[in-house]
Amino acid sequence: MRSFGVFRQFSFSFWRLLIVSIVVWETSAFAQGVTAGLAGGPVTQGASASPWRGTSVSYSQNLGVMTLAPWAEPHFNPTWSHRLGLFPQWHFGQGFSLRGRLFLSQEFTDSDTTTYRHEVELSDLWVDAAWSGWTEQRTGLHLGADVRVTLPTSKPSLAQTRLFTLGPSLNLSRRFDVLSGLTLIYTGRFTWRFNRLATRQNQGPTIPACGDVRALECLDFLNTGVRNPQADVLHGPIVSFAPHPLVDVSATLLFQRAWLPALAGVPDSIALGSTQLSPGTDVATRDLVVFSLSVSWQAFKTLGFSLGAWTFSNQLGEDGRYQFPLFNRNTTLFLDATFDVEGAVSSLRKEKSS
């Protein structure tokens, strides 16, 4: 029988998968929120005027697509995990709000990037100060914005000596009256990372055996000197289509370019094992593509489900060839259930008062 704990083949570690999945969840929820706002109602479900409307909890199951193809690679290493998300909101009238995001995740299969088996991982804490936006009446174009601050509550951010990040965002959208609504969105965010040091710092090799030591995620834990991205721009289109008032189909394609801090001055070439590093070989940027496709169904007033897939990829794979950005070996399938906490509390209060 094949083991669930054999060599790791993914080019990104599990915490990077978590970060990308948070981005995908955020853009999907953002698309639905903009759709509701352009329709003339509040951004959240229902007509509640409570200041904490929209506060919700989500639970999701995530499965790496290669888990379904054990014959596709020399080393079978499936990935199956679940995640709990907490999404508090506080609204200051109709125009401004504060939104929080925090995730707890756990991998059922054997992880090569945690200290012990089935370790619960904590994401960074996201706090958004959001402006609901302004709609130009003649064209119907809607402009919205927010400013995001993240606090380093995850182990990777602590290893990167993260203090906090600051990321302003702008989005432009337009709604069309097709069935229950078609919304086209283009969003962009610039993020600056405030780190104490330019490279990752490890007190020691906390994971003595990290599967395939050639994999990039093992280098993160076994070595120091990996440069932290200093800034990045994340942008791309989002399409949200509602063929039915209770059903929404969303697609997201995001492009990220991250800039690394400059290397310290070195001689023309430095011997590094069997390779030569010269000033001309420095790579100052990193590029990433994220794609998501999901179908959401509002089964009940306070409970909705989403089924879909998201894919992240470098422009080049491990073999140096371009990767198909919409579907590849890094694709993850997900099933998500979101519970509207404020909506449920409001319904209970109405039943008691009646």
CATH number of the domain bearing residue 222? 2.40.160.40
- Burial readout 270-279 (b: 16 or more C-beta within 10 A, e: otherwise): eeeeeeeeee
Would you say 340 and 307 are in contact if contact means Cβ atoms under 8 Å apart? no
- Select from 58, 60, 63 the least CA-distant residue to 85: 58
Q: Is residue 1 part of a domain?
A: no
Q: What is the DSSP string of 251-295?
A: EEEEEEEEEPPPPPP--S-EEETTEEE-GGG---EEEEEEEEEEE
Would you say 158 and 188 are in contact if contact means Cβ atoms under 8 Å apart? no
CA dist 85 and 42 (Å) reads: 22
CA dist 7 and 196 (Å) reads: 33
Q: Is residue 7 part of a domain?
A: no
- Select from 127, 177, 130 the least CA-distant residue to 150: 127
Question: What is the total residue count of the chain?
Answer: 354
Q: Is residue 9 part of a domain?
A: no
Q: Is residue 95 part of a domain?
A: yes
Tokens of 40: 């003339």
DSSP-derived pairing of the beta strands 120-122 and 182-195:
unpaired
338: region left, alpha or beta (phi > 0 left; psi from -120 to 50 alpha): beta
* Residue 177, burial from CB neighbour count under 10 angstroms (0-12, 13-18, 19+): exposed
- Select from 300, 290, 304, 343 the least CA-distant residue to 19: 290
Phi and psi dihedrals of 34, rounded to 5?
A: -65, -40
Would you say 156 and 199 are in contact if contact means Cβ atoms under 8 Å apart? no
Q: Is the whole model's pTM more than 0.85, yes or no?
A: no
Q: Is residue 3 part of a domain?
A: no
Would you say 20 and 310 are in contact if contact means Cβ atoms under 8 Å apart? yes
Residue range 212-264, pLDDT digits in tens: 545 555 555 555 567 888 999 999 999 999 999 999 999 999 999 999 888 76
Q: Is residue 91 part of a domain?
A: yes
- Number of structural domains (the chain) is 1
CA dist 117 and 115 (Å) reads: 7
CA dist 153 and 160 (Å) reads: 12
pLDDT for res 277: 46
pLDDT for res 346: 84
CA dist 22 and 19 (Å) reads: 5
pLDDT for res 90: 94
CA dist 345 and 27 (Å) reads: 26
CA dist 87 and 70 (Å) reads: 36
Q: Is residue 347 part of a domain?
A: yes
Would you say 200 and 225 are in contact if contact means Cβ atoms under 8 Å apart? yes
CA dist 36 and 183 (Å) reads: 10
The residue ranges of the chain whose pLDDT is under 70 are: 1-48, 202-225, 264-282, 316-320, 354
Q: What is the DSSP string of 162-229?
A: EEEEEEEEEEEEEEE-STT-EEEEEEEEEEEEEESSSB---SS-SSS--S-TTSHHHHHHH-S-PBPP
Q: Is residue 163 part of a domain?
A: yes
What is the span of the domain harbouring residue 237? 14-353
Would you say 302 and 339 are in contact if contact means Cβ atoms under 8 Å apart? yes
